[in-house]
Structure 1
Amino acid sequence: MNLLLNLFTAFFKIGLFSIGGGYAVIPNIQEQVVTARGWISQKIFTDIITISQLTPGPLAVNTSTFVGVRIAGLPGAVLATLGCVISGICLSVTLYCLFGRYKKSRYVTEILKGLKSASLGLVVSAAVTILLLTFTGSSELNLHPDIDTGSIILFLLSMLLLRRKKTGPVFLMLLTGAAGLFL
């Protein structure tokens, strides 16, 4: 029962303090489930993020569901997801009411500008972590990394197909997943 309450609380915090949504939530989730609580390893976390990107729905909700099921089965999935969603709903309604009242305030404009910059920093941090894990198997920078050449080739081909050929993301994920079987 304690674990279920901890799952709910952790994902309530994640939902409450995940400014920017999308990839900006990854460092917050990582801090809660990998670093602070040690529920899963960095490798498993990266796998969960990858699977969460493949499934429909918001990244934070999908990730909370997958982490919850990994830690405590179906009850864990339900409570982690509820924690993430309930906090987001409460915060959104509160901010909507406040923003409607103070949207012309210079302070609100400046706060939003600062939050945009912080969100960008979180997204870049998440991207660097995922790149390091994909290319080296570690989220830490080190002087002599064990480079996974196959992953780098798939990454570069993916970028080429996305940018030049306008390949759809679903097809690209299926293609690179299949290619990963042979590398």
Structure 2
Amino acid sequence: MTESLALLFILFFKIGAFSFGGGLAMLPVIFQTISEHGLMTAGEFANLVAISQVTPGPVVVNAATYVGFNVASFAGSLSATIGVTLPALVICMTATKFLDKFKENRIIMNVMKGIRPATIGLVASGVIFLAREMTFAPIPLIIFAATVVMSGKFKINPIVITLIMAVAGGLLCG
């Protein structure tokens, strides 16, 4: 059990320390990491992504908590969650201290210009992963299209859309 907790902490600490671009960009890294260690199947991970999206809080924290719980119950969720959030806490506290000094630094600005396209690539990778795991049956495609229309054309609140589509999915897919 202690080995599992240590492994979860180390894996998610690395993910938190070396992934950029937020939760969606970090999902492929999480999947690759947990797959290499046999912690979850692709189908289980697809469910994790859906649950992480609809539960309150950052996607990556929700994902870490879910994986940790799946592997080692409450202690595992705590270990993975602390592991993934600790690097961000330390980096933010350090960056805040030095932010004013480097605000106009050309090297820092160029580093940020390099990180942006990489972040977009990581998010795109997450979308591709989810698309591969999605069942392309008529009902899920209709739910997807309705979500895009409700969000893009009618500007309906995402919370309302999520609730509507959860009910639709439960009624139509179950």
Whether these two folds match at TM > 0.5 is: yes
Structure 2 residue 152 is matched with structure 1 residue 163: yes
In structure 1, distance between residues paired with 2:86 and 2:96: 15
Structure 2 residue 17 is matched with structure 1 residue 28: no
2:13 corresponding residue in structure 1: 12
Q: How far apart are residue 98 of structure 1 and its match?
A: 4.3
Q: How far apart are residue 168 of structure 1 and its match?
A: 1.7
Which of 157, 167, 172 is the aligned partner of 1:178? 167
Q: Per-residue displacement from partner, 1:87-114 (whole Å, max 9, x unpaired)?
A: 1111222333444332322111111011
Q: How far apart are residue 64 of structure 1 and its match?
A: 0.7
2:51 corresponding residue in structure 1: 51
2:141 corresponding residue in structure 1: 152
Q: How far apart are residue 150 of structure 1 and its match?
A: 1.8
1:122 corresponding residue in structure 2: 122
User: Greater helix share, 1 or 2?
Assistant: 2
Q: How far apart are residue 46 of structure 1 and its match?
A: 1.3
2:134 corresponding residue in structure 1: 134
Higher relative contact order (CA 8 A, sep 6+): 2
Q: Structure 1: where are the runs of 5+ without partners?
A: 136-146
Structure 1 runs (4+) deviating above 6 angstroms are none
2:87 corresponding residue in structure 1: 87
Q: Structure 2: where are the runs of 5+ without partners?
A: none
Q: Which amino acid aligns with 1:23?
A: L
1:144 corresponding residue in structure 2: none
- CA RMSD of superposed structures (Å): 1.5
Q: When the two structures are superposed, what TM-score results if normalisation uses the length of structure 1?
A: 0.87
Q: Which amino acid aligns with 1:157?
A: A
In structure 1, distance between residues paired with 2:99 and 2:32: 29
**Percent identity between the two aligned chains:** 30
In structure 1, distance between residues paired with 2:140 and 2:132: 11
| Most deviating of 150-159 and 94-103 | 94-103
1:2 corresponding residue in structure 2: 3
In structure 2, distance between residues paired with 1:21 and 1:86: 15
Q: Per-residue displacement from partner, 1:50-86 (whole Å, max 9, x unpaired)?
A: 1111111111111111110011000001111111111
Q: Which amino acid aligns with 1:46?
A: A
Q: When the two structures are superposed, what TM-score results if normalisation uses the length of structure 2?
A: 0.91
